[in-house]
Structure 1
């Protein structure tokens, strides 16, 4: 396998622009694109606080899940972990990634069968995320970027 980022900063309009107009590797892997530095993921490093964890890599205490209602089923396949982690943090908990932990994730196994539908679901979920967690100005900016892209 190969390294895959499993923890991210909450996405903003700049990260949306990166998704629509990909940039070279160094910028793709940068904080501007929601990534934490790879050096932080060295196995001997201590756990570090993050905004959200990739859903396939989450381990959540039962009381946290109970008090924050878990994944919102209104999101279909995308952005549900971002929404949930926002609610977890808003409720006062902190989120960490553990560099020593290894997870095998077969990315795209669920979505690879119907790629066109996956793109529709991705952008519908992102739109829902912006409506729920960003103000009307950022939602308008995101919509404009998507129309341009």
Structure 2
């Protein structure tokens, strides 16, 4: 049996992890997190396709691609688009692939504008507040879907 495919999609400014507000987001880079996911994915027989873009349309296109490629799940850290993007909400609803919303920090302990998640309105679930471990916990959840 072929490995399950899980897309890991990252939104704006996540390319700056490790240097961007490490008191909030931690000191690990996105590449560090990707390496952890690949390692754990191998143990779970899951292939990881990890991407990052600062452009909302790329994230929408990649969600569509996840459907076309038969992904078993998508882990999505949409960054600030979490709180603003009806386009991501609509794409998640349209693709029929379970999406797990991921956040390094806990948006509910931060500014009030971060308390609303358009992504969360369509996501299977949300994992937030555990730093880089949020991604690993989300991958564990995806393995069980």
For Structure 1 versus Structure 2, the TM-score category normalised by the shorter chain is: under 0.3
Higher-Rg member (1/2): 1
Q: How does the TM-score come out when normalised to structure 1?
A: 0.25
Higher normalized strand content (fraction of residues): 2
